Structure 1
Amino acid sequence: MSLSGKIAFRYLFSKKSHSAINVISMVSVSGVAIATMALVCTLSVFNGFQNLVASLFCSFDPELKVSVVEGKTFNANNEKINALRKMPEIAVFSEIVEDNALVRYKDRQVTATLMGVSDNFSKLTHIDSILYDGKFVLADSLVSYATVGAGLSLSLGVGANFVEPLEIYAPKREGKVSMANPASAFNTDYAYVTAIFSVNQAKYDESTIIVPISLARKLFQYTNEVTSIELKLKPNTDIDDVKSKIARALGPQFKVADRYEQQEEAFKMMKIEKWMTFLILCFVLMIATFNIIGSLSMLIIEKKADIATLRSLGADNQLISRIFLFEGWMISAIGAIVGIVLGLLLCVAQESFGLLRMGGNMGAFVVDTYPVKVVCTDLMTILGVVFTIGFLSAWYPVKSLKNKYLSETRQNN
């Protein structure tokens, strides 16, 4: 440790003539520690919610999704797509046809997103893990079946294995509308509900119906067209590398999205909320570091005689300034380390014992307690912010020391 660091260390922990300075120093450390702990816990909770939402989407969204940049559909049998089928990294290749349709059950009708999927859809996603009623089946030799989102099933008043089928209407792509018989402008088909799923996301639960791709193509008058290709990769495959490889092979007219990009709006909003909260807590940290300014200012006043002695022993202004600058850094560093440790302990306790609960009845939410996930980059960011604010709060009184006390000492000498 340098000479200035040793003197600053002694000043920090030695007994002062005025006990108020010791009290203010402890308050400074406590304020920085509490603000740092709040930052660690808050960012970890946001990470936990993001991880929770990602896990919910993982049950429904594919690892990679290929769609066109312009337009709605593309031919699934073109040369580039056929080459994609043969890529060794791909475990499941599934064709999807998705569009809006009118769905009717008895006297109720709603507009829904009809999602026609290939027979291997159950291998592509963890559909069975999000079913809470019925069994996932697409079709048999006689009829087509539908798997309906939980919110949509309530709107229609339908459940798994109900006797009457859903009536599904899609507007014809060609031809004129007859005012005498408007129903002739729609293609109509039927599907029996065999299962209800819930992803706990309104985007899917309130509007999605999963049906065989043959039924969707018939309704929307498609042959080999698809709206997207959904892919599952083989285990231990680097998703980013395969994503880049597919994007290069397909060209700029296709878009390849991973799970986060498929739900870009949701995750972007969560990130904005996370960092806005981070900025608010940084302002709280700035207020807490005002105590450092007060502590150093009082210490400089008390050590005025020591400053004169150090100058008589040959200390220059730079050495004396570093002493008090190190003092402010030590207060920030101790507070930051204590805050990080306390924050990590609280996160571990929350994860292990669920100290902070969501409120309401058990099972009312997806999880009963606040989820947490500690990310190392967040800890490094917090430390960087705390040290930066601590440096600025120590720099101000040291600047005043240079401008006033050191000049006075120099004049007296």
Structure 2
Amino acid sequence: MNFLFAWRYFRSKKSTNAINIIAWVTVAAMAVGTAALVIVLSIFNGFEGLVKDLYSSFYPDIRITSATQKLITVDSTTRTFIAQQKDIAAFCFTVEENAHIQNGSFRTNAILKGVDDEYARVSGVAQHISNGVYETGNMETPGMIFGSGIENALNLMSDRAITPVTVYLPKRGVPAGAGPLESISTVNFQPRGAFTIQQDFDNKYVISNLAAVQQMIGLKEHEYTSVEIKLQKGVDEKKMVQTLQQGLGNTYLVEDRYRQNRSLFAVMQLEKWAIYGILCLILIVAAFNMIGALTMLVLEKQQDVQILKAIGATNGFVQIIFLSEGVLLAMTGSIIGIILALLFCYLQVTFKLIPLQGSFVIDYYPVKILITDLLMILATVLFIAIIASWLPSAKAAKQQLSLKAQ
């Protein structure tokens, strides 16, 4: 019933044109604020999804490391336990170490990552080869796959390189007092390819054969830096992390993709909430127009309020009518804003209306609409509408005017 009154007040022509103008200005302001929220959050979601996809191409679904030291020893029992998990699609062993790489007169530092044959199934690096081929070789003739930034720093083309590059790695287990030459391993690696994923990886990592890297560092056969795991599609990562952690014990650290990049994901979430809070100010400003529109409407409908009270309407019922009027103004604007935002997002994806300047993996601003964001925005608009409508509706309910015969 109260919405019927509110709808009638919304549609009816007012005696003062200013009331109509302010009401439609309120609707327009709510539409603009809602559209801005949907569009900006959708663009942010698009970038967030893009970054997550790029990072997931390098980081595994789950990574197992030592909880207390750099290396882990994976015995046959541990290997069997991991292999028996039916939700694991593939797993591999890796060793990482800081290295110095030389190509003639060109030198650079990088993280050398030794991987086994299963790494191509666990990681997406093999699908991001930009030059040459994905081939790590063997212990006798190890191949090397460079991040594109490392490749540029060494001034080489991996698919055309004839001469190998020289890699210097620190040795483990060297007695104190040993000379520099005894403390450093020097091995030639043949360039095979280069990958391009994201600058954090392209400028930092080179990938090669696991056995060759283990031999250079002086590791035993079952000593690794980490075990990387790829899960079957649809598997809950958190449950799998708990299963592995319980089975392996506290000496191992089991991390899902979020924990591997805790700082990155925390910053992205913080940025999203900051953007949401800033754009909500547009809706709050629009709420001031709503207060003005409802206050003037209350003044115009004084006689209607007294008639309602004369036929038995309570103060609460009168207040709900004007609260409903404020909600109607706000929700009308928000629905219009959402429709406009959805239309813009469709056009952006289809026709790339706004290009992305500079060198990036895509040439336009990505958008990704989430239902949860739409529901959150609608809830925000509803909350602001109720708060803004409360004072004018309370004044309407407390009116003590009396009806006089004409």
Q: In which range does the TM-score fall when normalised by the shorter chain?
A: over 0.9
Q: How many residue pairs are counted as aligned between the two chains? A: 402
Return the match for 1:409 from 382, 393, 401.
Answer: 401
Shift in Å, 1:40: 0.9
Distance, in Å, in 1 between the alignment partners of 2:134 and 2:243 is 33
- Aligned 8 A contact 1:75 1:226 in 2: yes
Distance, in Å, in 1 between the alignment partners of 2:250 and 2:17 is 70
Does the alignment pair 1:397 with 2:397? no
Return the match for 2:355 from 357, 374, 381.
Answer: 357
Distance, in Å, in 1 between the alignment partners of 2:403 and 2:97 is 84
Please tell me the residue identity of whatever aligns with 2:372. T
Does the alignment pair 1:284 with 2:279? no
* Segment drifting more, 159-168 vs 92-101: 159-168
- 2:176 aligns with 176
- 2:217 aligns with 220
Distance, in Å, in 1 between the alignment partners of 2:94 and 2:140 is 22
Shift in Å, 1:36: 0.7
- What TM-score does the superposition give when structure 1 sets the normalisation length? 0.91
Shift in Å, 1:86: 2.6
Does the alignment pair 1:154 with 2:146? no
Distance, in Å, in 2 between the alignment partners of 1:255 and 1:396 is 56
Return the match for 2:366 from 361, 371, 374.
Answer: 371
- 1:54 aligns with 52
Shift in Å, 1:19: 0.7
Shift in Å, 1:93: 2.0
Distance, in Å, in 1 between the alignment partners of 2:265 and 2:110 is 24
Shift in Å, 1:402: 4.4
- Aligned 8 A contact 1:104 1:168 in 2: yes
- 2:329 aligns with 331
- 2:248 aligns with 250
Distance, in Å, in 2 between the alignment partners of 1:266 and 1:141 is 35
Distance, in Å, in 2 between the alignment partners of 1:396 and 1:110 is 67
- Aligned 8 A contact 1:25 1:295 in 2: yes
SS, match of residue 409 in structure 1: coil
Distance, in Å, in 2 between the alignment partners of 1:124 and 1:321 is 62
Runs ≥4 residues deviating over 6 A: 410-413
Please tell me the residue identity of whatever aligns with 1:394. S
SS, match of residue 360 in structure 2: coil
Distance, in Å, in 1 between the alignment partners of 2:402 and 2:265 is 59
Please tell me the residue identity of whatever aligns with 2:3. G
Return the match for 1:294 from 292, 295, 304.
Answer: 292
SS, match of residue 390 in structure 1: helix
| Cα distance change, pair 142–251 in 1 and its aligned pair in 2 (3 A) | closer
- Aligned 8 A contact 2:95 2:226 in 1: yes
- Aligned 8 A contact 2:137 2:143 in 1: yes
- 2:341 aligns with 343
Task: Map residues 122-271 of structure 1 onto 2, 5 A cutoff.
Answer: 122-140=120-138, 142-160=140-158, 161-173=160-172, 174-177=174-177, 182-199=180-197, 201-223=198-220, 224-271=222-269
Please tell me the residue identity of whatever aligns with 1:378. D
* Segment drifting more, 375-384 vs 301-310: 301-310
- Aligned 8 A contact 1:116 1:212 in 2: yes
- What TM-score does the superposition give when structure 2 sets the normalisation length? 0.93
SS, match of residue 167 in structure 2: strand
- Aligned 8 A contact 2:139 2:211 in 1: no
Distance, in Å, in 1 between the alignment partners of 2:357 and 2:204 is 28
- Aligned 8 A contact 1:177 1:185 in 2: no
Please tell me the residue identity of whatever aligns with 1:304. Q
Distance, in Å, in 2 between the alignment partners of 1:305 and 1:375 is 46
SS, match of residue 355 in structure 2: coil
SS, match of residue 58 in structure 2: coil
1:242-266 Cα deviation digits (max 9, x unpaired): 3332222122332222333322222
SS, match of residue 93 in structure 1: strand
| Cα distance change, pair 62–336 in 1 and its aligned pair in 2 (3 A) | same
Shift in Å, 1:78: 5.3
Distance, in Å, in 1 between the alignment partners of 2:279 and 2:132 is 47
Shift in Å, 1:238: 4.2
- Aligned 8 A contact 2:169 2:185 in 1: yes
| Cα distance change, pair 89–412 in 1 and its aligned pair in 2 (3 A) | same
Shift in Å, 1:30: 0.9
SS, match of residue 152 in structure 1: helix
| Cα distance change, pair 19–151 in 1 and its aligned pair in 2 (3 A) | same
Shift in Å, 1:99: 1.8
Distance, in Å, in 1 between the alignment partners of 2:262 and 2:189 is 32
Structure 2 unmatched runs, 5+: none
